[in-house]
Structure formats: structure tokens, C-alpha cells
Structure 1
Amino acid sequence: MSVKGFKSHPYIPNSVPEVEQEMLRELGLNSLEELHAEVPDEIILKDQMNLPEAFGSEYELRRHVEGVLKKNKTCADNLNFLGAGCWQHYVPAICDEVNGKGEFVTAYGGESYNDFGRFQSLFEYESLMAELVDMEVVNVPTMDWAQAAATAIRMGCRVADRTQVLLTGSIDPEKLAVIKNYCEPDLELVTVAIDNATGCMDLNDLKSKLSDKTGVVYFENPSYLGVLEVQAQQIADAAHAVGAQCVVGVDPISLGVVSVPRSYGADIVCGDLQPLGIHMNYGGGQSGFMATMDDPKYVLEFPSRLFGICCTNTPGEYAFGDVAYDRTSFGHLREKAKEYVGTQSALWGITAGVYLATMGPKGMQEVGETIMQNAQYAAKEIAGLNNVSIRFSTPFFKEFVVDFSKTGKTVEQINKALLDKGIFGGKDLSKDFPALGQCAMYCVTEIHTKEDIDRLVSALGEIL
């Protein structure tokens, strides 16, 4: 899905024989095969690849690629109520204007010789994000929320010096798979059940599983299923009572109207920046963040870069630079670092900073209130349809679970019929959460008008 057209990126080919030979001569090689001499013979493809005939020009290639892309069904042409980790929000034009600047798009390492203000822009992002989550330290963005959650959990376990993790049972299965990939077998992951009526964490199950082995309790607010975790304070208190760290995942756009995790006991906060001025980009607009207080026991556990203001050798002169650089895998510690960090999504951090600076506290409150009002209206109207109900009784922010089990139709059938009407229906939960039956999770944000919601409800009424 995308709210704007996807464009094939132009490229400069180096396949002209004369150019290829010049490059090989510069490298001191006779053939491309020598370039890959270290690749083991047993994994080299011996057959010819099944590739179409080469295009004669860049124009022909571009025309072909754009024809393939037109087969996609996008949010530009359809009304969208899908969320589940990649949400459609309004993107102010200034966000695209700034993140499209060459000095940001092309900078990778961002060192002094190719910086052009990237250090400062990331410092400004971290400062704005810290204010939003009411924390003091924010990292340069990770790849996505899943990576941020996995890293935050590992950080929390190192702080607690324990290896057991209790996670909410409402977590996105794809996110859980990433967390397992990062954390197992070093850490023991234990799932805590959710209450069937509320969708919140089952406190009795949580308390029965807490012990002196528990290093981290992880939950999300709002949860993956959309509900607000109204027992957040009790969860954090229970975790702290056994000496565990409380790690909370959060949708940052909710924080204009919902209490920040630190207010109910979170030690580490993580989430995804995608709602903050970043297009969905076919699922590619993800960017994870982590935040803590300015305490060395947390700061020194961050594996990724932290930018701050520091003194220079010139009295009275200051600069933007790395904080505690030696703790990282790319600093002096190398393989002895606590965790490896690869490529990150710093460009989206800059974009989120632009969004937050543009919106300000009042703007974040207004967008949060608009989302909640729109979502409440949509849920009320959908629940008025015959044999349809809202699955959980707990308050929600922008996503809510609709139960179609009594309609005699599957979510798959309903969504197919909606797509025929130019509407993306809610996320089908029947495979990932079979205990819920035929349920779908609908997402409503500030981009949805009353007419959009009424169109959805009318379409559902006709289908059911």
C-alpha cells in the first residue's frame, strides 16, 4: 500500500563492455569471475538464469517497470482501513521536502566530510522525540518497531541481569518472530495470556509467571489489537516488585492524548516512527525508536548511536557528536560490544523530527483527538450492523477488532467483496488469532472523513 505513487529509481548502468573492462583493469582483475573468487564453488549457480531479454534503453525499462507497478492496488485508488503496524496518516508536505534534500538522502555514515548537518538534525529529532515520550535519551532509529522491541528487551535483561522475558499474548506474530530471532536462545521468552473480554493482559496469569528469574515484562499500549492497556500501572508495579524491568511499546502519535509510558512505570519505551510524517511506502516506511532516562545503567546499554552536544578543543565552542561512542560495536569494542548494530533508518528519524516540529504539542493533541473521534464513530456505526459487534470492551485509540462470526461469512469473503467496491477492509485475524473466530481489525485515522466511514458501513451492510 502507498499514499503516493511508487517510482522506479533511475540508475547508471556499468554493463557496457568498455566500462566493465576499465573497472576490472583498475581493480587488477581479468574477469568478473575473479571478483567473486572467494565464493565457494558448491553454491555458485551453474545454469543460466531465467531472465528476460535486456531492454534496449532506460526509457523501455522504465515503461516496463511502471507497467508492473500499476498492477498494485494502492491507497491512492482505494479507501483504506488496514493498519496492523503500517498505518495511513497524513504526511505534511514539508516532511517530503526536507527528507528529499540531497545532503540527507545521500549521507550514509554522516561523518564530518559528508555530514552537512545530519548530526544536528538527528540531535533535534532525538530531543523532540524525548519530549514526546517524556524521556531523556533517544537513539538514532533502528530498522523498525520489531528490532527496537527486541533490542529494548535485551537492554532490560542486561540491566536486570536476568534472562527471562514475559511478553503479552496480543503481540503481532511477525514482531514476535523478530524478537525470538534476536533474543533466543540467550533469553527465555514466556507468553502471558490476554483476557478474552477486554483484550488486556491477564493479570492473574502474569503474576503466576513472575519470579526472581524475570528480567523484563513487555507489553504494548495501545496493543497490537488496538486496545489501551488500562492495567498498565498494575503491570509495571508487578514487574518492579520482583526486580524486573518494564518495557513498553507505544504508538507515538497516540501520545498527544494518551499518558506517556513513564507515567505508569515504564523503564524503557520503544515503538515505530512511521505514523510521524512517513509514508507507508509498500511497508517500507518503518523506523524503530527506543527511549530511557539519562541514567548510565541504561545509556551504556544502548547499542546504537546517540547524538549530543559536546565541547570542542576551542573554548566556548560546541559541536554535535556521538555520546559514549566506545560502547558500540562500531566503536572500540567491536566484537566485544553487547550487541551488534547494522544499517539504521536515520532518514526517517529526521523526517519524524520535522513532523514533530511542525505539529508541536497542540498539533499532536489535535491529531490524537481527531483519530479517537473518528475511530469511535466508525466502531459505533459498524457495531450497528446486524450480527456484527466490537470484540473487546476496553477503550481503544485508532484500531479496533470487529467480530463477524455471527454473520455466516468469513473475513476473507468480506474483504474480497469490499475490495470489489474499492475498499481495503480490516486485517484478517482468523489465522494469527484463531481463538477470536472471524474477527478483523479496522484502522481509522485522521485521514478518514465521515463520508469515508459511512461508505464503509454502507458497503458492509450490502455485503452482509
Structure 2
Amino acid sequence: MTTPFVHPYLPNSAPEVRAEMLAAVGAESVEEFYADIPAALRLTGDLDLPEPLVAEADLSRHVRGILGKNRTRLSFLGAGTYHHHVPAVVDEVIGRSEFLTAYAGEPYEDHGRFQALFEYASLLAELLEVEVVNVPTYDSLQATATALSMAVRATGRTRILVASDVRADVLSKVEDFIRPYASLEHVPTVDGIADVAAVTALLGDDVAAVWVSTPSATGAVETAMTQLAEATHAVGGLLVAQTDPIGLGVLTPPAAQGADITCGDIQSLGIHAWFGGGHAGFVGVADDPRLVMEMPHRLFGLASTSVEGEYGFGDVAWDRTAFAHREEGKEWVGTAAALWGIAAGVYLALMGPQGMVELGETLLARTAYARKVLTALPGVSEADGAVHLREFVLHLPRPAAEVVEELRAKEIEAGVVLGEHELLVCVTEMTTQADIDLLARELGAVLGTATDATTHTPVLEEVAR
């Protein structure tokens, strides 16, 4: 008989302990817990792993060999993870031991973490034009799902209207999260942005929120936020705006246009793209108890101490969280992505208001330039006429997947395939005019339309018009 394996660091792997746990929950075997997972997705054998390496030096050499196979390509990929500049000081600060190794930051072991996160929240709140910002949660998917859940709880209603084009991964997460107590209803967009008339026609006293994404999944900037907010508020609903703070140095923040809850991701703010990105989600609201008390996340505030002139930093309204209520909490948060909040705080402090303005102008200009150059190619057209920030969709005369593969052979990642002939292209401040011209030349060659390297002067006034 085979002796059951008992892991030295996992006490629950001992047969007697496992049997006791199963008896306590009334299950015959561990397999019962995985009954809802399709058989095709379940691992039934051993993992195909190599033999263990016996020395650290061997492991280091092995990993270097794997990393040495990485290849750098000119990238126009976006779709949620973006290649923005990360100042060296950001990595230096978050690599400090008091930040890097601290789990969440508690009074008995905090070494400035509370204050760092308070400063981050304050800086982001100023950019978003809100008054309360949470300690970061996992990512924008989680943040958006939470923001919509807050609207459902605050209004006691169960319908959510989706007024923008949203990414499939965000939509999937939100649907899973709110399915037990609310429903999503999609309203088709017009020319890339919300159809205000259609949204207004669907509003009623059962609508908890209108969900707007700006920039949208295709990079379109919503221009009717104020009208959407007014219409939503007229029926007692809330406007939830999902956004990326990277462009708010030049774009009007959603909150200044009537949005009640602003949410999104801070990956663009000083966090490397890496292999899919370091992500962290934010939720921001006005200092309104109705909404603040629905926020499940940790909030750090400023408080006086027993020493005159000294201040401390700590949790605000702890009793509203699941940490206090445990299983009776409105929503469970779990581990925060707090380190990325410190990274974003350092980034915002370095950039300052003028830096964010210049960055926003650069993004608008390069986006406009790329659209102009690429749509000048015969057979290539833009999917809509909206103002775009960082991303836009091209309609190609050939299948987009084929075009991407051919350009990949030329060391260019041209974008993300959205449809048979649709390609999502992304440019950032790291994408130069020469990069865009190279993409235009190579795309023209792949499409069989000879083109010279064109140079169009990016004019911000054109973007504004």
C-alpha cells in the first residue's frame, strides 16, 4: 500500500487532519469541492516538471538561459496593459525594505507605509477631482466590479446600463461579480461613444447605475458625460465612470462632469508593463457618507496625536470593512496591491501637475498622428470618428490576424486583433514618430500598397476640434 504523502509545510495534508476537516463540512472527499469545474479543465495527472536543480547556481543559470530567449519587438500593444515610462526613482523607492516586505502595514510594524499610501491617495484624488480614494485593490476589473456593487447597495436597485464599449476581460469579471444581485444591460454605442438618447430611453427607477468607460476599450474619449450624469441623476441612479488617470492632465476628470464613482487602474502611473503588467485598482468618490460607507477597502486618513504638532496616519471608518465584520461584511477585499499604490504615488509626485499636462498633450498628439498616418494607407480606415487617447481601431482590407503575423515576422507587434478586419493599435509617449512611420511603411508593404515614410506634424488644435 502506498503511504500518503504528508507535506512538511502543509499540516492539512496529513490524512487524519484532512479526514477531520471533511467530516466537519459534511463532504466525502476533496473532489466534491471541484464538482463545478468541467472535467476538461481539471488536472488529473502529475505536472510535467523538470527534475529539481540541486544548487542555487544551477537554478540561476537555468533561469538566465530562459530569460535569454526573450526577444524585443517594436510594440503597439495595449488593451489594458501599457508601456509608459517609469522613472528610475520609482523602482528605487518601492524596492526599499520597509515598503517591499511589509504585507499591509499595521501600527506595530509600519515604517511610513501608512503615510506613503495616504500621500498616494491624496495625489490621485487631486488628479481625479474626488475627495476619497481607497488603498489599491487587485486591478481595474475588481475596482469596477466593486464600484458598480457600491451603486447597487447605495440605491437598492438591480439594473446597470453599460453605455460604453468595455473590454471583454473587464466585462467578464464584472458579470461574475454582480450576477447574484444585479444585471447588466448593454446599450450600443454610436461612432465610438455613448448613445445618450438610447441610454436615456432605458433609464427608470430600477436603474442603479450607468457604467461609462472613458477612454473606452477602443480608446474613445466620452464627450457626453455631463448629459449622461444629469439623465441618470434624474431617475435617482448613479453614474460610474471607469477611467485611466494617465490622460487627466488634459482631459476633464469624470467626477468634474458629474460621475458619482470613479474607478480604474493605476498601471499606467509608474508601474512596468512586464509580462501583462503590475495592476492595481482604485475607487474614488466625494466625501459623501452614503458612498464612503459602501467602500469595502482600507482608507487611510490623517489624525492628530497626543503630541502637539505631530500627526499620524491610519484607517478611517474601520467598522465598515469586512476586516471588522468578517463573514457579515458587505464585500470581502482581501490582499491589497498596496505596493503599486506607493509606486503610483512616487510617479505622481515626480510628474506634478505640469508634467501630467505635458504627458496628456503628448499622448493626444501621438495618437492623432498615428491615426492620420495609418489611415492614409489605401484600404485602411478608422472605425469611428471619436477623439481617442492612446488607442484606436483600424479597419484593414485584409484579415487582421494575418497582418499581425506577417508584421510579427518583421519584429513588430502591430496591435491586438478585435475582429476579422479590426486591429486595436496603441501608442504612448514611449512610441516615437519614427516608430509610427516604420509601422506605416511595413503595414503598407504587408497590405501591398507601397508608401513612403510620411511625416505629419502633430497639431493639438486638430485634436481639440
In the TM superposition, what are the counterparts of 1:250-269 in structure 2 within 5 Å? 250-269=243-262
**Structure 1 residues 47 and 369: CA distance shift in structure 2, 3 A:** closer
**Correspondence 1:421 to 2:414:** no
- Give 3-state SS (helix, strand or coil) of 2:77's partner: coil
The 10-residue stretch of structure 1 (334-343 or 350-359) with the greater mean CA deviation from structure 2: 334-343
**Structure 1 residues 322 and 42: CA distance shift in structure 2, 3 A:** closer
Partner of 1:231: 224
Partner of 2:37: none
Partner of 1:374: 366
**Correspondence 1:104 to 2:99:** yes
Partner of 1:17: none
In the TM superposition, what are the counterparts of 1:8-407 in structure 2 within 5 Å? 38=21, 41-43=29-31, 50-73=48-71, 77-195=72-190, 198-314=191-307, 316-331=309-324, 333-404=325-396, 407=397
Task: State the Cα distance separating 1:327 from its structure 2 match.
Answer: 0.5
Task: State the Cα distance separating 1:121 from its structure 2 match.
Answer: 0.2
1:310–1:318 CA contact under 8 A, matched in 2: yes
Task: State the Cα distance separating 1:60 from its structure 2 match.
Answer: 1.8
2:164–2:216 CA contact under 8 A, matched in 1: no
1:138–1:290 CA contact under 8 A, matched in 2: yes
- In structure 1, the gaps of 5 or more residues are 1-19, 431-436
Partner of 1:3: none
1:157–1:245 CA contact under 8 A, matched in 2: no
- In structure 2, the gaps of 5 or more residues are 1-5, 23-27, 33-42, 448-465
Task: State the Cα distance separating 1:32 from its structure 2 match.
Answer: 5.8
- Counterpart of 1:420, as a letter, is A
Percent identity of equivalent pairs = 45
- Give 3-state SS (helix, strand or coil) of 2:301's partner: strand
- Which whole-Å deviations, capped at 9, do the CAs of 1:211-238 have from their partners, x for residues lacking one? 1100100111111111111111111111
- Which whole-Å deviations, capped at 9, do the CAs of 1:146-199 have from their partners, x for residues lacking one? 11011001111222221111113511111011101110121111111111xx11
Counterpart CA distance in 2 for 1:46 and 1:457 is 48
Counterpart CA distance in 1 for 2:274 and 2:188 is 33
Partner of 2:38: none
What is the total number of aligned residue pairs between the two structures? 426
Task: State the Cα distance separating 1:284 from its structure 2 match.
Answer: 3.5
- Give 3-state SS (helix, strand or coil) of 1:461's partner: helix
Partner of 2:425: 442
Counterpart CA distance in 1 for 2:238 and 2:90 is 35
Counterpart CA distance in 2 for 1:384 and 1:34 is 71
**Structure 1 residues 148 and 30: CA distance shift in structure 2, 3 A:** closer
Counterpart CA distance in 2 for 1:243 and 1:48 is 55
The 10-residue stretch of structure 1 (42-51 or 64-73) with the greater mean CA deviation from structure 2: 42-51
Task: State the Cα distance separating 1:394 from its structure 2 match.
Answer: 1.0
1:248–1:269 CA contact under 8 A, matched in 2: yes
Counterpart CA distance in 2 for 1:347 and 1:354 is 11
- Give 3-state SS (helix, strand or coil) of 1:256's partner: coil
Partner of 1:461: 444
| TM-score (normalised: structure 1) | 0.87
2:164–2:193 CA contact under 8 A, matched in 1: no
- Give 3-state SS (helix, strand or coil) of 1:189's partner: strand
Counterpart CA distance in 2 for 1:47 and 1:215 is 47
- Give 3-state SS (helix, strand or coil) of 1:302's partner: coil
Task: State the Cα distance separating 1:448 from its structure 2 match.
Answer: 1.1
